[in-house]
Amino acid sequence: MKAVVYKEPFKVAVENVDDPKINHPNDAIVRITSSCICGSDLHMYEGRTAAEPGIVFGHENMGVIEEIGSAVKDRKVGDRVVMPFNVACGFCKNCLGGFTGFCTTVNPGFAGGAYGYVAMGPWVGGQAEYLQVPFADFNCLPLPKGNQNEADFSLLADIFPTGYHGAHLADVKPGESVAVFGAGPVGLMAAYSCTIRGAAEVYSIDHVKERLDKAAGFGAIPINYDDADPVEQIKSRRSGSGVDKAIDAVGYQATSAGSSAAGGEQDEVPNIVLNQLIDVVNPTGALGIPGLYVPSDPGGVDENAKRGALSINFGRLFEKGLRLGTGQCNVKSYNAYLRDLIIAGRAEPSFVVSHEVSLDEAPEAYVKFDRREDGYTKVILHP
Ligand SMILES: NC(=O)c1ccc[n+]([C@@H]2O[C@H](COP(=O)([O-])OP(=O)(O)OC[C@H]3O[C@@H](n4cnc5c(N)ncnc54)[C@H](O)[C@@H]3O)[C@@H](O)[C@H]2O)c1
Ligand SMILES: [Zn+2]
Ligand SMILES: [Zn+2]
């Protein structure tokens, strides 16, 4: 089958790889209809992880079940399904607690597995024609038959639940004010989820115009951090007050103001957003940090950053009595509920999708999405 294969930093190719097989009676083989490119893929694409050439990318996968193993009970051939990016067993201690992003079964020696991702186990990615899904009854979320809401449902694999997770980690409640750093797909979904949860005022911070426009489209207040310090911009609009909650949907490749959106490596300031969260949130508030931080970054700006050790103002965090939550999204905790919001017409996350292209066009889509040019915000590949 055809698949998107990582070749070297800033290069992927569409190549023929082995077809996936049923390796265990719990497996299903899914024929992929949609697989999205994620900001998380860019960390590997840019050579900013330990990912080795040859890895097939793709953790945001949706399709139709083509084949099932003999032990699969609830899912059937022909079911339309979307898979959480987390591969999870459903029966380990963390899965039972709802923490399917930290499954201890699927990636021995580590808590957490994913398709097509460095250090996340042997699971081949789904930017391909077919995907092997283990523990298929647990990992395949059923969807209405047909092809309606394809783009909306495909976002249930990662960014809609992950954005919602950011709002959950920050414990966003009705009537609150929230600052969401980053208006990439995750940040937009986090800000959108805050409005779904009833936040009164949502600020969306970025410097990519098309992305800020999308945030304004559903009522968030866009803040361009190239104009002035975003914390000061928010406080000046609020008569000097900060906000109740804040979300980091940027992660360790955060850039300082004024940098070019493309490859601004010299402008990278990995701790800038974390410290801005601490500054902008009022005492007793909470921080949600779904943006990715890694314990090993070959391209880190200094020796500390290379081992994921970042300097944050813990004194101020403590003084303000702030709480914080981090980590991979436990997609299974949210995806069925968010699916039902889409079915009920109460959520339409596909407004983030800017481009839908064929698998063959993936190499060019990676280049443009990585440079955040031509309005590339979220790309769906259709094999
Ligand atoms: N926790 C999880 O389970 C999970 C899942 C998916 C993605 N992620 C992570 O979430 C992060 C965002 O993902 P994405 O797909 O939206 O990525 P993205 O790279 O498309 O978006 C990041 C955005 O942050 C903006 N940005 C950079 N520096 C900034 C700053 N100082 N202040 C405000 N905005 C800034 C960029 O312009 C960009 O628009 C990534 O780190 C990704 O790895 C985490
Ligand atoms: Zn993703
Ligand atoms: Zn598990």
Report, in angstroms and rounded to the nearest whole number, the Rg of the chain calculated over CA atoms: 20
Asked whether 52 and 91 are in contact (CB, 8 A), the reply is: no
In angstroms, the CA 156 to CA 313 distance is 34
Structure pTM?
A: 0.96
Could you say which DSSP state residue 128 is in?
Answer: B
Rounded CA-CA distance 217/347 in Å is: 14
Q: Is the pLDDT of residue 20 over 70?
A: yes
Q: Residue range 354-382: average pLDDT?
A: 95
β-strands 28-37, 11-16 pairing: unpaired
Q: What is the pLDDT of residues 187-228, one digit of tens each?
A: 999 999 999 999 999 999 999 999 999 999 999 999 999 999
In contact, 34 and 62? CB cutoff 8 Å: yes
- Surface-to-core class of residue 1, CB atoms within 10 Å of its CB (0-12 exposed, 13-18 middle, 19+ buried): middle
CA dihedral for 77, 83, 87, 88, sign (positive or negative): negative
Residue length of the chain: 383
Ligand 1 pocket mutation, candidates 45, 46, 188, 250, criterion most atoms within 8 A of CB: 250
- Tell me if 51 sits within 8 A of 87, measured CB to CB: no
Give nearest CA residue, ligand 1 atom 42.
40
pLDDT of residue 79: 98
Distance between Cα 253 and ligand 1 center (Å): 8
| Helix, coil or strand: residue 160 | helix
User: What CATH code is assigned to 160-326?
Assistant: 3.40.50.720
Answer yes or no: are the C-beta atoms of 151 and 380 closer than 8 Å.
yes
Query: How far apart, in whole angstroms, are the C-alpha atoms of residue 165 and residue 64?
Result: 26
State both tokens at 123.
Answer: 């699971």
Q: What is the pLDDT of residue 107?
A: 97
* Residue ID of nearest Cα to ligand 1 atom 43: 40
Enumerate residues 6+ apart whose C-beta is below 8 A from 22.
28, 29, 67, 68, 69, 132
Distance between CA atoms of residues 233 and 231, nearest Å? 5
What do you get for the CA distance between the two ends of the chain, in Å? 10
Locate the domains of the chain by residue range: 2-158+330-382, 160-326
Superfamily (CATH) of domain 2-158+330-382: Medium-chain alcohol dehydrogenases, catalytic domain (3.90.180.10)
pLDDT tens string 124-164: 999 999 999 999 999 999 999 999 999 999 999 999 999 99
Q: What is the mean pLDDT of the chain?
A: 96
The values of phi and psi at residue 53, to 5°, are -55, 145
Distance 41 CA to ligand 2 centre (A): 7
Residue 296 binned pLDDT confidence (cut-offs 50, 70, 90): confident
DSSP state, 231?
Answer: H
Residue 151: the pLDDT is 98
- The CB density around residue 202, as the number of other CB atoms within 10 Å, is 27
Q: What pLDDT sits at residue 299?
A: 87
Containing 104, the helix (H) or strand (E) segment is none
Q: How many A from CA of 175 to the centre of ligand 3?
A: 36
Percent of the chain clearing pLDDT 90 (strictly above): 93
Question: What pLDDT does residue 259 have?
Answer: 55
- List pLDDT tens digits, range 239-263: 999 999 999 999 999 998 765 544 4
Q: Report, in this order, helix, strand and coil percent for the chain, each rounded to 5.
A: 30, 25, 45
Per the model's pLDDT, the better-predicted residue between 375 and 67 turns out to be 67
Helix boundaries (H) for the chain: 39-45, 93-96, 136-139, 150-154, 159-169, 185-196, 209-217, 230-237, 272-280, 303-306, 314-319, 335-343, 362-371
Query: Pocket residues for ligand 1 (CB within 6 Å)?
Result: 38-40, 42-43, 158, 162, 181-187, 205-208, 211, 225, 249-251, 254-255, 261, 272-273, 290-292, 328-329
pLDDT tens by residue, 74-133: 999 999 999 999 999 999 999 999 999 999 999 999 999 999 999 999 999 999 999 999
Which pLDDT score is estimated for 258?
64
Q: What is the identity of the amino acid at 72?
A: V
Q: Which atom of ligand 1 is nearest to the CA of 43?
A: 43
Question: Which of 159-173, 264-278, 339-353 shows the lowest per-residue confidence on average (mean pLDDT)?
Answer: 264-278
SS3 call for 217: helix
Q: What does the alpha-carbon distance between residue 230 and residue 257 come to, in Å, rounded to a whole number?
A: 9
Residue spans of alpha helices (H) in 268-334: 272-280, 303-306, 314-319
Neighbours of 151 (CB within 10 A): 18
Query: Is residue 65 very low, low, confident or very high in pLDDT (cuts 50, 70, 90)?
Result: very high
Residue 118 pLDDT: 94
Q: Is residue 264 scored above 60 in pLDDT? A: no
Distance of CA 82 to the CA centre of its chain: 15
3-state secondary structure 72-89: CCCCCCCCEEEECCECCC
